[in-house]
Amino acid sequence: MATFFGEVVVAPSRAGVDDEEEAREETPEDREIRRELEKKREIDILWTLKSGATTESCADEPFVCSKFIVAIGRNAAAFLSSFILDSVCWEVVGVVKLWNEWCRTSSTTNVLPTDSFCLFYRLISDPTVLLCQCSCYVAEDQQFQWLEKVFGCMQKEGLQVTILSTCPVADYKTQESTLTLPSPFLKALKTKEFKEQVCCPLLEQPNIVRDLPAA
């Protein structure tokens, strides 16, 4: 505990503990609990891309996808619902089932569980266009698994991915007063492979993107 403001206090650390010592400290009961938690936190994706049959894995050949739009967060997902999905032009083709501290999905194997908050839609007139409406929380240790399983079923060549996400205006870093900024406003980040015209100004430094959108 610091004795005065500004005093540098070194916190206790286990960084020097080697793997063998940690292994000795872990009991069989601890290992069993850890394995059960890891198994419970595995992400499952159910697809119905062919003939209406539900499968937990993609086909042997990755399916063709030209455009993949992902809305992450409740506001972005609500935007898709209001302005894009409010028609009969889309059909549900997949669902993500996951479990973590803030998300509890159903254990049912139906493609559309009532308590799922991560759905995939396909444009009926162009099956190569997919949308993902993800309003659930994906934990840090699940983000790579989410990406691996979703994009592992898609052909990467010619694939254009668009991510929609939101953050509070208070988190936006700018020299201007946030009170004078229009709300909401749109900024963009792009990779060097994206050659088309960006529809809005680019996000300025030192602003960053976090969590699943960043992944």
Q: What is the per-residue pLDDT for 60?
A: 59
What does the pLDDT look like over 145-170, one tens digit per residue?
999 999 988 888 889 999 999 988 88
What does the pLDDT look like over 114-145, one tens digit per residue?
445 788 999 999 999 999 999 888 889 889 99
Contact yes or no for 127/66 (Cβ under 8 A): no
**Residue 44, strand partner residues:** 97
- pTM of the entire structure? 0.74
Q: What is the per-residue pLDDT for 109?
A: 43
Sheet order of strands, 129-134 included: 44-47, 90-97, 118-123, 129-134, 67-72, 160-164
The token pair that represents 80 in the structure block: 């898709």
Low-confidence ranges of the chain (pLDDT < 70): 1-24, 50-60, 104-116
Identify which of 78, 122, 118 has the alpha carbon closest to the alpha carbon of residue 98: 118
